[in-house]
Chain A
Amino acid sequence: MINRISRRAVGALLVSTSLAFALPAAAQNEIKIGYNADQSASGAAELGLSGLYGFQAAIEDINAKGGVLGRKLVGVIRDDAASPPKSIQNMNELIDNEKVAAVVGPTNSGNALAWLHIPQQKKVPVVSHVATATDITARYAKEPQNYIFRVSMVDREQLALLAAYAVKASKSKNIAIIADTTGYGQAATKDLQEILALHGIKPVAVEKFGPKDTDMTSQLAKLKAAGADMVVTGSLADATAQVLKSMEKMDYYPGLLSTWGSINTPLINIAGAKLAEKTIFAASTTEDASDHATALHKRLIAKHPNMPAFVSAAQGYDAVMLIAAAIKQAGGTDGDKVQKAMESLGEIQGIIKTYKKPFAKEQHEALGVADFHLAQWKDGRVVKLDNEIVKSLAAADLKR
């Protein structure tokens, strides 16, 4: 009896050791790219989920063409559920255990700000494909090497576009700001005030509400009393939906401009499809923006029929393309060399645009206000906004 057990144990041991030997051999031929983003929890989780679909599609495309430097790309995927401690843990695990060459993520700016020091110290390039806080790429800008890059919207830049539109669209030049009391909402309020000042405009009212509030009629009554005909809000989709519902209660519809959080479906789920059409928001791309975008959208929607927010899928796709190009240029996965290659990339065809030298020492944003446009929900889909005001926006209007 004892004999049989021990024989089995020896057998198991043999199998497991041979597996352990086999793994590194396979791993040496692979290049791992980490994905660490909220795909399930916060109001922005859909951006992380769509981002993953784009991330995977890019890896598929690269592997179909023989991989990078003859090696296969492998995505290592982690969900941080919007929790900073979990995000930090994921980051350490991806870098120390999985030995990823680069990381794409996260969804939530707060999580990025919680772990930026880890990839920076361990010399692993990161491309933020969703998180928008201005400080993410700026924190290590003064270091000899900044390992943090971004292929996403940048708050300051998207607010610049919203402010420019508000100034053009407002007849009375009475522009107001309403935002939730989270760090995101208050940072947006501060940025907006500064940008509007560049236009020579002082907002007629600046209001705030709690992130869980469901009735903002009192705050909106003040905007109405101040005569605001354009309102800019910096909040996540669920809060913006509640602002719209309160506007409906009051039958008060100034132009409502919001950040790209409005691209998430909680906006239409909570506010209803018709009411959701009443906000105009910033986006880097929509599925109808270019042939590349249409093709990727068609392919992803065939695989993931419920895919929300195409925009972050495009950003996730482009992030992988830029990383792969940098690894190829660096001739390996050494973090220090890949970082340098990122800053001296040539021309790369992406989904959002053709990137021409996207990054440099002083420039870690692949996208800027010139790449963004305005969008709107229409019959349950996000479409590009193309009215007279948008057409009249010139580069000089985009003050920031």
Chain B
Amino acid sequence: MTAILQALASGLALGAIYGLIALGFNITYATTKTFNFGQGAFLVPGSLVGVSLLLLAAGKPHWGNLAPSEMTLFTYGLATLASVAIVGAIGILLYYCAIKPFVGVGGLNWVLSTIGFGIILQNTALAIWGPASIAVPSPLGNEVYRIAGAGIRPQEVLVAVVAIAVMVGLDFVIRRTRFGKALRAVAFNPQAAAIVGINVEKIVIIAFVISSALAGLAGILIAPITTASVFIGLGVALKAFSAAIVGGLTNARGCVLGGFLLGLIEALVGLWRAEMREITIFLLIIIVLVVRPSGLLGARSVEKI
């Protein structure tokens, strides 16, 4: 019984990570029907820039290891803001380099251009930080919370809370605000949106900035769980992308739901056979795509990308 409870707790903790990253796919897809295939690489500057700022503030070189005493909730908060701002700014660069030349052209050029941009970003980080991973203590401490025998760490709870908060925020912005209306208008028909006076390019840039900033946020938030490194995004971004597909790319709630679902499957299948985890997840994705092509919560549509 405790084993199942633990698997549920661990699965939700893992799922929150996938969900948080998956949200980054939602906002740009909802606007331009494109998204950043290199999103995983955007976690890299997210984690490393924030951690390096904390290291420099502690008077250490930018690639050392952080001691728990060198991190407070306040400094971690500042580092998070810096990560979000810097990676958000990289989003503008991403738009001009990898999206703008291909928007509205059709074809899959943007897929390769965003992957390529991600690889450039990752290798730039490799040149600056080197390949070693940096252990990051959690600002909330390393104590284990115990619920009926199942353990979970405060940082994992924080990731889940932030994922849900961002989801609610995005949902609200897209459904209830003027900006959200403009976003949806651009997604529905960019030409018509332009005719009614919406600055289409501005909206699209903002979408990419938000998406990138979310990757930055995810990077610094998961660093205390996974360690910060140039390879932080490799495995999780693919799972996050799968989560977005399963839950529905067009729906923020779907992305987070997909994340939790994948995390739970991974932990529960692990109780049975660890090597069956990925097999189960990707089988599920295929089944969902057959039954509901736009994901569990995605809007049904007949158009093709």
Contact = CB atoms under 8 A, between A and B. Distances in A.
A218 B275 CA distance: 12
Interface stretch (B88-96, B116-124, B186-194, B224-232): B224-232
Contacts of A265: 65
Contact of B130 (A41, A43, A248): A41
A339 B6 CA distance: 56
Contacts of A290: none
Interface in A34-52: 40-43, 45
A81 B2 CA distance: 42
Contact of B234 (A212, A266, A269): A212
A249 B6 contact: yes
Interface stretch (A119-127, A192-200, A202-210, A254-262): A202-210
Nearest to B149: A251
Interface stretch (B50-58, B172-180, B265-273): B265-273
Interface string B129-143: 011110100000010
Given A248-B151, A251-B146, A269-B65, A215 B10 contact: yes
Contacts of A81: 131
Which secondary structure characterizes the binding site on chain B? Answer: helix
Nearest to A251: B151
Contact of A221 (B146, B226, B269, B271): B271
Interface size class of A (residues with CB under 8 A): 20 to 34
B271 A218 contact: yes
A99 interface: no
A238 B226 CA distance: 10
B107 interface: no
A337 interface: no
A41 B275 contact: no
B13 interface: yes
B97 interface: no
A218 B274 contact: yes
Interface in A264-313: 265-266, 269-270, 272
Contacts of B133: 43, 238, 266
B22 interface: no
Nearest to B63: A40
A374 B133 CA distance: 27
Contact of A207 (B65, B231, B274): B274
A207 B6 CA distance: 17
A270 B2 CA distance: 25
Given A208-B275, A212-B234, A221-B271, A249 B132 contact: no
Contact of A249 (B14, B152, B231, B269): B152
A217 B6 contact: yes
B10 A269 contact: no
Interface string B187-216: 000000000000000000000000000000
Contact of A225 (B3, B131, B144, B274): B3
Contacts of A45: 132
Nearest to B227: A270
A224 B3 contact: yes
A168 interface: no
A238 B133 CA distance: 9
Contacts of B153: 249
B7 interface: yes
Interface in B254-299: 267-271, 274-275
A133 B49 CA distance: 37
Nearest to B156: A215
Interface size class of B (residues with CB under 8 A): 35 or more
B235 interface: yes
B130 A219 contact: no
Nearest to A247: B151
B6 A40 contact: no
A248 B144 contact: yes
A269 B135 contact: yes
B87 to A, nearest CB: 21
A208 B273 CA distance: 9
B274 A209 contact: yes
Given A208-B275, A238-B133, A266-B135, A221 B151 contact: no
A250 interface: yes
Contact of A208 (B3, B13, B151, B274): B274
A295 B270 CA distance: 48
A249 B151 contact: yes
B131 A218 contact: no
Given A221-B3, A249-B152, A270-B227, A41 B132 contact: yes
Contact of B142 (A40, A224, A238, A272): A272
Contacts of B149: 251
B178 to A, nearest CB: 41
Contacts of B271: 218, 221-222
Nearest to A210: B235
- Of B6, B131, B227, B267, chain A has the most CB atoms within 10 Å of the CB of B6
A40 B235 contact: no
Contact of B7 (A212, A218, A225): A218
Interface string A212-251: 1011011101101100000000000010000000001111
Interface in B1-33: 2-3, 6-7, 10, 13-14
Interface string B32-73: 000000000000000000000000000000000100100000
A41 B131 CA distance: 5
A87 to B, nearest CB: 14
Contacts of A208: 274-275
- Of B144, B149, B268, chain A has the most CB atoms within 10 Å of the CB of B144
B3 A212 contact: no
Contact of A218 (B13, B65, B270): B270
15 contacts: A40-B130, A209-B274, A210-B235, A212-B234, A212-B235, A215-B13, A218-B3, A218-B268, A218-B269, A218-B274, A221-B6, A222-B271, A249-B144, A265-B65, A270-B227
Interface of A: 40-43, 45, 81-82, 181, 207-210, 212, 214-215, 217-219, 221-222, 224-225, 238, 248-251, 265-266, 269-270, 272
| 9 A-B pairs with the lowest CB-CB distances in the bound complex, closest first | A218-B270, A249-B151, A269-B135, A221-B3, A41-B131, A218-B271, A215-B10, A217-B10, A270-B135
